[in-house]
């Protein structure tokens, strides 16, 4: 937890700590968070509770990992905790280093401490370079490294995020040991603010939608709400509602901002269609890539159509 002298109590950002995690790396990308209080928490539930209770201004949480898929707990929390909004998106390359107590050589490493997910993502490298290593599972990436300094440590090295070198006095035995060089984790910054970030042209809109019932075509019908408006989806995850098998809600990211006419119209269609739709927010894409869509879905087309309808309803001659 880093506190600066002049921050007001409300200016606090919660994140999955401790310092050195990928989540902290995401938070470092947020200009507004610099120089404010950063509150390290143990899991996504605590992070979101900080926001709903007003203890923190916002919380950074992992929402999707290109290797691990949707971070279920985060998605379920957003679906069930009311009053939360996503206000920003951040990408952190998932890269790992192999660290050890100072003075350790790679050749000395027999046992590696690693969080199971990190272990899975570095296993190829480890098996090539340390074919005879043993693995001790850790509760988190940072703890894997921290444990090297515990009295009863049996591990010679640990798999950790690159940021660990700012927190611990470790030697880096190898860098970039992740098996997939493109691996990246997607984080979102969540707040209680109902003020929607302004439209930039490179935005995402996140929603969670419950299907009307278990009837065959309802998912198809939902997707048609987007296709008829030219709205592309960049994420579709099904999550069980939890009351019985076979009932799902869908976590979706749409290309565009709620102030884009085509997105607003698709949201109207969703709302009419679904027994439960949660608007999670519209916010700039992490990659700042302009949203592409066919010109037939331009705002002007929507506005012109409404003017046309209004003219008919008010008895004006068509033009």
From CA 294, how far away is CA 256, in angstroms rounded? Answer: 13
**Contact residue for a second copy among 5, 102, 220, 295 (CB under 8 A):** 220
CB of 189 to a second copy, least distance (A): 17
CB 182, min distance to a second copy, A:
5
Instruction: Check residue 212 for interaction with a second copy (CB under 8 A).
Output: yes
Q: Is residue 42 close enough to count as binding a second copy by CB under 8 A?
A: no
Q: Who contacts 305 (Cβ-Cβ below 8 Å, separation ≥6)?
A: none
Q: Which is nearer to a second copy, 54 or 105 (CB)?
A: 54
> At its nearest, how many Å lie between a second copy and the CB of residue 139?
8
Q: What are the φ and ψ backbone dihedral angles of 294, each rounded to 5 degrees?
A: -65, 145
- With binding defined as CB under 8 A, does residue 268 bind a second copy? yes
- Contact flag: residue 233 with a second copy (CB under 8 A): yes
277: nearest Cα among 302, 254, 259: 254
Q: How far is the CB of 84 from a second copy (least distance, A)?
A: 11
Instruction: Identify the three-state secondary structure at position 85.
Output: strand
Closest distance of CB 2 from a second copy, Å = 27
Per CB under 8 A, 206 contacts a second copy: no
Q: What minimum distance in Å lies between the beta carbon of 198 and a second copy?
A: 12
Query: What residues from 166 to 195 belong to the interface with a second copy (CB under 8 A)?
Result: 180, 182-184, 186, 194-195
If one asks whether residue 219 binds a second copy (CB under 8 A), the answer comes out as yes
Contact between 187 and 91 under an 8 Å Cβ cutoff? The reply is yes
Cα dihedral 50/57/291/74 (nearest 10)? -10
Give the strands of the sheet with 248-255, arranged side by side: 233-240, 248-255, 203-210, 276-284
Q: Which is nearer to a second copy, 131 or 317 (CB)?
A: 317
71 Cβ contact list (under 8 Å, min separation 6): 44, 61, 62, 63, 64, 65
Binding mask 298-317 for a second copy (x = CB under 8 A): ---xx-xxx-xx--xx-xxx
Applying CB under 8 A, does 78 fall inside the site for a second copy?
no
Q: What are phi and psi of 125, to 5 degrees?
A: -60, -45
Contact characters 87-126, a second copy, x per CB under 8 A:
----x-----------------------------------
Distance CA 15, CA 191 (A): 12
């Amino acid at each position: 937890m880093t506190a600066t002298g002049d921050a007001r109590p409300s200016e606090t950002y919660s994140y999955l700590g401790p310092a050195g995690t990928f989540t902290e790396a995401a938070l470092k990308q947020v200009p507004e968070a610099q120089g404010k209080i950063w509150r390290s928490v143990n899991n996504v539930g605590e992070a979101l509770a900080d926001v709903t209770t007003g203890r923190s201004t916002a919380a950074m949480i992992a929402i999707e990992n290109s290797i691990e898929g949707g971070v279920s707990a985060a998605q379920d929390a957003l679906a069930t905790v009311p009053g939360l909004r996503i206000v920003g998106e951040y990408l952190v390359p998932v890269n790992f280093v192999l660290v050890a107590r100072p003075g350790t050589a790679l050749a000395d490493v027999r046992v590696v401490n690693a969080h199971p997910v990190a272990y899975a993502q570095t296993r190829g490298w480890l098996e090539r370079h340390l074919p005879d290593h043993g693995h001790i599972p850790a509760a988190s990436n940072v703890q894997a490294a921290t444990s090297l300094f515990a009295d009863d440590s049996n591990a010679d090295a640990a798999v950790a995020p690159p940021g660990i070198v700012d927190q611990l006095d470790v030697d880096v035995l190898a860098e970039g040991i992740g098996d997939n060089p493109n691996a990246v984790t997607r984080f979102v910054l969540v707040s209680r603010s109902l003020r929607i970030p302004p439209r930039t042209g490179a935005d995402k809109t996140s929603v969670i939608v419950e299907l009307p019932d278990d009837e065959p075509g309802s998912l198809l019908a939902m997707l048609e709400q987007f296709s008829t408006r030219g709205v592309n989806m960049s994420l579709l995850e099904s999550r069980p509602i939890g009351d019985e098998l076979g009932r799902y809600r869908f976590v979706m990211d749409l290309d565009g901002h709620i102030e884009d006419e085509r997105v607003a119209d698709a949201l109207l269609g969703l709302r009419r269609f679904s027994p439960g739709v949660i608007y999670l927010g519209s916010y700039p894409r992490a990659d700042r890539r302009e949203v592409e869509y066919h010109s037939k879905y331009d705002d002007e087309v929507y506005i012109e159509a409404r003017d046309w309808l209004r003219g008919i309803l008010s008895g004006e001659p068509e033009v």
